[in-house]
Amino acid sequence: MEKRSPSTQEHSRLKWVWTNLKGRRAFYGLGIMGSITFNVLQLTIPFFVAKLIDTFISGPDAAYNLEHNRRLFFIYIAAMVGLTLVRTVIVYATGMIFEGNSQWFLYRIRNVLYDKVQRQDMNFYNTFRTGDLMTRMTGDLDAVRHMIAWVIKTIIESVALYTSTMIYFFFMDSLLASILLVISPLIFIVILKFRKDVGPKHALLREKLSGLNTNAQENISGNRVVKAFAREKYEIEKFDRGNTEYSETNKKTALIWLKYYPAIETFANMMPIILLVIGGFFIIDGRLTVGEFAAFSGLIWAIANPMRNLGSIMNEFQRFKAASAKIMEIYYSEPKIKDAPNALDLPDRFKGKVEFKDVSFKYEDGKLPVLEHISFTVEPGETLAIMGETGCGKTSLIHLIPRFYEVTGGQVLVDGHDVRELKLHQLRKNIGLATQDVLLYSDTIDGNIAYGDEQLPKNEVVKFARYSAASDFIAKMPEGYETIIGERGVGLSGGQKQRISLARALAIRPSILILDDTTSAVDMETEKEIQEGLRNLDFPCTKIIIAQRISTTKNADKIMVLQNGHIMEVGTHEELVKKHGYYHSLVTLQTGEEEFGKAGEA
């Protein structure tokens, strides 16, 4: 899109607006027709005033007409009043149509954008910052709405008014009209220069706003870090700097118009002067009647004002251009990870076999591979524990199972099928994942646990809370399961949040349960309780558990130790202890010599 010429880009932007007005185009067209009509009707009063003057005041038969043609006089007056009333009704209706349509468009696009954002893959979220996405869905959308509600309407009004007035002028006196017309190209040259100046400023302004929003968003959601480090003053100053820059850029953008404004104003003001001088001579020559002169001067604003409007139209158009580019980027974005055209339709519940075949993986924006040549199999119902030092690739590995990222080599198979052949929705519905960073919604505890299955009855919610050793602390909360969790889980301890997130993962009765360090923040006693719960689930389930504690992993069917993206050791607790490798040293470290001795003998 970047490579296209500016004019084609604008063309496709407007086309995009038009495409999305589908279903409302006729209505929008009606608004446009209304705009044209009421602007042509602006000619009513000057037209009839000219008629009245020439027929009853200054024309050669004025005295006669005043005596014998009274009826005509009243017809003219009635026509003036009647058409003015009609015009008022059309103005009102047109305003309603444009406003209604723009709100309708806004509603529609906002939904599409939200839908697009929701369906994006992880890489998208790594690329776009939340504050920027929010700007797109609010400020940028409003700029587009303004285009539909105001800019297009004003352009049509200006063109209709200018053209109809000019045609009327040509009918009255083509020479005078031509002289007035000569000014117009000059104004256009100035406006085109203005456009060149102001365009980049709007793009910059939009970036600054997005930066400001991102800063605010990150600070609000990370307020506890700010407080912990007592960095409020620093953050306020940082925001103030951004705010000042934004405000300065805004001012500079507004000042650009002031640079061009005097030229436009001079040209626009020349019109009445030209009319006065040349029109005056024409009346003296008898070329122009007094009534016609009155019509010219009563309508001179109708050709000067559209020119004055060009500045703000151009300004708003450039704002639209910057904003719509940002919106269209999301609008046309497609997740890279999506269903294959011939994706398999498996039975709703998977068996839960997970297999990695020589898997390698590298993040799109990363330089080095994170995983290399990983092969293992977990049979349905088995438990695999994954261990390894921080940063060795554990989280990256498990994220390949629900296909959050695409492997760069090898295959990830679930129930014997490459995950790329499965329907994403089906695959993910079968996986219960408790992520390393717990994010709970500002909803009740009940609502959080039942997130994956809204129909879950209350007693089931309690059961899953019991599995994850959360039922006791929930029961002690003031409103039990109806307690509303604050944003990002304010009001709950880390271990409590982890347990609710575990209950949430269990509540969909997944055939594959993946826990990423989910019990790291709970005490040993509770951990034991959770282990017990996980062993006694009332549904079959393959478990893949990332943990650092031997107590969590030792009962697993298989323990896999990763190092630097490679499998270093794999086996049961007993096998690995005998191996005297990394796992062995972990056991020594965590359970002490004595315990290790016992384990070693077993």
The pair of structure tokens assigned to 521 is 């923040």
Query: Which CB atom, from 315 or from 395, has the smaller least distance to Mg ion?
Result: 395
Q: How far is the CB of 244 from ligand DGT (least distance, A)?
A: 33
Interaction of residue 393 with ligand DGT, rule CB under 6 A = yes
Q: 286 has which bridge partners?
A: none
The answer to whether 291 and 263 have CB atoms below 8 angstroms apart is: no
- Interacting partner of 469 out of ligand DGT, Mg ion, none (Cβ under 5 to 8 A depending on kind): none
Residue 274: CB atoms within 10 A of its CB come to 16
Q: Can residue 498 be called a binding residue for Mg ion (CB under 5 A)?
A: no
Residue 544, strand partner residues: 384, 514
State whether residue 371 is helix, strand or coil.
strand
| Contact status: 82 vs ligand DGT (CB under 6 A) | no
Closest approach, Cβ 375 to ligand DGT, in A, equals: 18
Site for ligand DGT in 437-496 (CB under 6 A): none
Tokens linked to 455:
């129909």
> Which among Mg ion, ligand DGT, none contacts residue 390 (Cβ within 5 to 8 A by kind)?
ligand DGT
Residues in 114-143 at the binding interface with ligand DGT, rule: CB under 6 A: 126
Q: Which of 431, 428, 454 minimizes the C-alpha distance to 441? A: 454
Q: How far is the CB of 515 from ligand DGT (least distance, A)?
A: 12
Q: Which does 366 bind (CB under 5 to 8 A by kind): ligand DGT, Mg ion, none?
A: ligand DGT
Q: Is 76 or 404 the residue whose CB approaches ligand DGT more closely?
A: 404
542-546 sheet: strands from edge to edge: 431-434, 512-516, 542-546, 383-388, 558-563, 566-571
Residue 395 contacts Mg ion per CB under 5 A: yes
User: Is 394 a binder of ligand DGT (CB under 6 A)?
Assistant: yes
Number of residues in contact with ligand DGT under rule CB under 6 A: 14
Interface of this chain with Mg ion, residues 300 to 329, rule: CB under 5 A: none
Pairing of strands 542-546, 558-563: unpaired
Q: How far is the CB of 551 from Mg ion (least distance, A)?
A: 19
The item of Mg ion, ligand DGT, none sharing an interface with residue 455, based on CB under 5 to 8 Å by kind, is: none
Query: Among residue numbers 268 through 307, which ones bind ligand DGT (CB under 6 A)?
Result: none
365 binds ligand DGT (CB under 6 A): yes
The C-alpha atoms of residue 419 and residue 279 are separated, in whole angstroms, by 82
- Strands 383-388 and 371-378 come out as unpaired
215 binds Mg ion (CB under 5 A): no
The partner in contact with residue 126, picked from Mg ion, ligand DGT, none with C-beta cut-offs of 5 to 8 angstroms by kind, is: ligand DGT
**Distance from C-alpha of 456 to C-alpha of 508, rounded to nearest angstrom:** 9
Nearest CA-CA partner of 94 in 55, 161, 39, 176: 39
For ligand DGT, give the closer residue by CB, 87 or 362: 362
DSSP code of residue 444: B
Write down the least CB distance from residue 392 to ligand DGT, Å.
Answer: 4
Query: Which among 403, 399, 396 has a CA at the least distance from the CA of 419?
Result: 403
Residue closer to Mg ion by CB (options 436, 563) is 436
Choose between 177 and 567: whose C-beta lies nearer to ligand DGT: 567
Q: 391 or 597, CB closer to ligand DGT?
A: 391
CB of 346 to ligand DGT, least distance (A): 28
Phi, psi dihedral angles at 562 (to 5 degrees)? -100, 150
The answer to whether 311 contacts ligand DGT (rule: CB under 6 A) is: no
**Interface stretch with Mg ion, choices 22-30, 259-267, 387-395, 487-495 (CB under 5 A):** 387-395
- Site string (372-391) toward ligand DGT, x via CB under 6 A: ----------------x-xx
Stretch that binds ligand DGT, among 136-144, 290-298, 365-373, 424-432 (CB under 6 A): 365-373
Q: Is 559 helix (H, G, I), strand (E, B) or coil?
A: strand
- Which H or E element spans position 356? strand 354-361
Q: Choose which of 82, 222, 280, 366 interacts with ligand DGT (CB under 6 A).
A: 366
Q: Using alpha carbons, list the distances in angstroms from residue 471 to 13, 62, 460, 535.
A: 54, 99, 12, 17
Lookup result for tokens 């076999």: 353
Least CB distance to ligand DGT at residue 388 (A): 6
Q: Per residue, what are the HEC states of 386-418?
A: EEECCCCCHHHHHCCCCCCCCCCEEEEEECCEE
| Stretch 420-439 residues interacting with Mg ion (CB under 5 A) | 436
Do residues 354 and 234 make contact, with C-beta atoms less than 8 angstroms apart? Answer: no
Rounded to the nearest whole angstrom, what is the least distance from the CB of residue 392 to Mg ion in the complex?
Answer: 9
> Measured between alpha carbons, how far is 106 from 319 in angstroms, rounded to an integer?
16
Q: What would the two tokens of residue 19 be? A: 């495409």
Among 44, 333, 411, 436, binds ligand DGT (CB under 6 A): 436
Select 393 or 489, whichever has its Cβ closest to ligand DGT.
393
576 in Cβ contact with 561 (< 8 Å) = yes
**Pick from 299, 370, 413, 561: which binds ligand DGT (CB under 6 A)?**
370
- Which residues, in sequence order, are CB contacts of 594 under 8 Å at separation 6+? none
Q: Is 439 helix (H, G, I), strand (E, B) or coil?
A: coil
- Judged by beta carbon distances under 5 to 8 A according to partner kind, the member of ligand DGT, Mg ion, none in contact with residue 454 is none
Q: Which stretch in 98-106, 221-229, 359-367, 445-453 sits in contact with ligand DGT by CB under 6 A?
A: 359-367
Q: In sequence order, which residues have a C-beta less than 8 Å from that of residue 259 and are 6 or more positions away?
A: 197
Nearest distance, CB of residue 521 and Mg ion, angstroms:
14
Q: Site map for Mg ion, 344-383, x if CB under 5 A?
A: ----------------------------------------
Phi, psi of 393 (to 5 degrees): 115, 15
Contact with ligand DGT (CB under 6 A): which of 27, 267, 363, 441? 363
Distance of CA 495 to the CA centre of its chain: 33
Task: Tell me how far, at minimum, the Cβ of 121 lies from Mg ion, in Å.
Answer: 19
Nearer to ligand DGT, 222 or 366 (CB): 366
Helix axes 290-331, 232-274, angle to 10 degrees: 150
- Are 461 and 507 a contacting pair, CB within 8 Å? yes
The tokens for 457 are 């009855």
DSSP 337: S
Where do contacts with Mg ion occur on this chain (CB under 5 A)?
Answer: 395, 436
Where do contacts with ligand DGT occur on this chain (CB under 6 A)?
Answer: 126, 363, 365-366, 370, 388, 390-396, 436
